[in-house]
Amino acid sequence: MTGAIRIGIGGPVGSGKTRLLERLLPMFATAGIDTAVITNDLMTEEDAERVRRSGLIDPARVMAVETGACPHTAIREDPSANLAAIDVLERRFAGLEVVLIESGGDNLAATFTSDLVDYWVFVIDTAAGDDIPRKKGLGLLQADLLVVNKIDLAPLVGADLDLMRRDVAVARPGKPTIFTDLRSGVGLDEAFDRIVRDALTLGVLT
């Protein structure tokens, strides 16, 4: 795989994928990393439009991909539409270093194929239930980085964060997990540092 490094962001609907994207974009910009975005919206261009209107990135650097009602297929079995979008972005922006690919909201079994991404993040949230790590979905098991978001909501919905930490440690031995509240920014620096450090190990970012 040549060209820009490709970083996938997957996870269930409402877990905070777009929020993570919006939080990371200024950090990539501050770090001087040339970045573009692809969103795999389930039904509309809502996420792409949200990112375009955010003022965080040149709207021309944001592309939306339709997934034929199969968001998991578009990042796993047949990433053709995403690969085509990457191709367009790389032709449009010669110095492109990173493409962030947000998957359509999917279930816990969604995974990114290595034919599409170099590195990927899976986002879950505490409000969806503190038993998610125990269910050991493939996304949670295989992602390079797990983000457990909305920790601020845990006490409000009766989610046990200590239990989630223990279950995550069992489910992902040796793999990083970061607990975040992306609205306030808790855990965000750690997530960014981790992503950039891992991208550095891939030898792409310098």
**Any binding-site annotation on 14?**
yes
Smallest distance from the beta carbon of 80 to another protein, in angstroms? Answer: 3
Q: How far apart are CA 142 and CA 110, in angstroms?
A: 10
**Looking at beta carbons only, is 115 or 152 nearer to another protein?**
115
**Any binding-site annotation on 16?**
yes
Q: How far apart are CA 90 and CA 57, in angstroms?
A: 16
**Looking at beta carbons only, is 7 or 86 nearer to another protein?**
86
Chain positions contacting another protein, by CB under 8 A: 42-45, 65-70, 73-74, 77-81, 83-84, 91, 115
Q: Which amino acid is it at 131? A: D
**Any binding-site annotation on 18?**
yes
**Any binding-site annotation on 17?**
yes
Smallest distance from the beta carbon of 69 to another protein, in angstroms? Answer: 4
The partner residues of 204 in beta bridges, in order of sequence, read none
With beta carbons less than 8 A apart as the criterion, state whether 9 and 123 touch.
yes
Which residues make Cβ contacts (< 8 Å) with residue 4, sequence separation at least 6? 34, 36, 86, 89, 90, 96, 97, 98, 99, 204
Smallest distance from the beta carbon of 7 to another protein, in angstroms? Answer: 21
Smallest distance from the beta carbon of 66 to another protein, in angstroms? Answer: 4
End-to-end CA distance of the chain: 17
**Looking at beta carbons only, is 79 or 139 nearer to another protein?**
79
**Any binding-site annotation on 133?**
no
Q: How far apart are CA 149 and CA 168, in angstroms?
A: 13
Token pair in block for residue 193:
């540092």
Q: Which of 157, 145, 153, 155 is nearest to 191 (CA)?
A: 145
**Any binding-site annotation on 54?**
no
**Looking at beta carbons only, is 45 or 190 nearer to another protein?**
45
**Looking at beta carbons only, is 43 or 163 nearer to another protein?**
43
Q: Is 190 exposed, middle or buried (0-12, 13-18, 19+ CB in 10 A)?
A: middle
Smallest distance from the beta carbon of 114 to another protein, in angstroms? Answer: 13
* Binding-site residue set for GTP: 11-18
* Binding-site residue set: 11-18
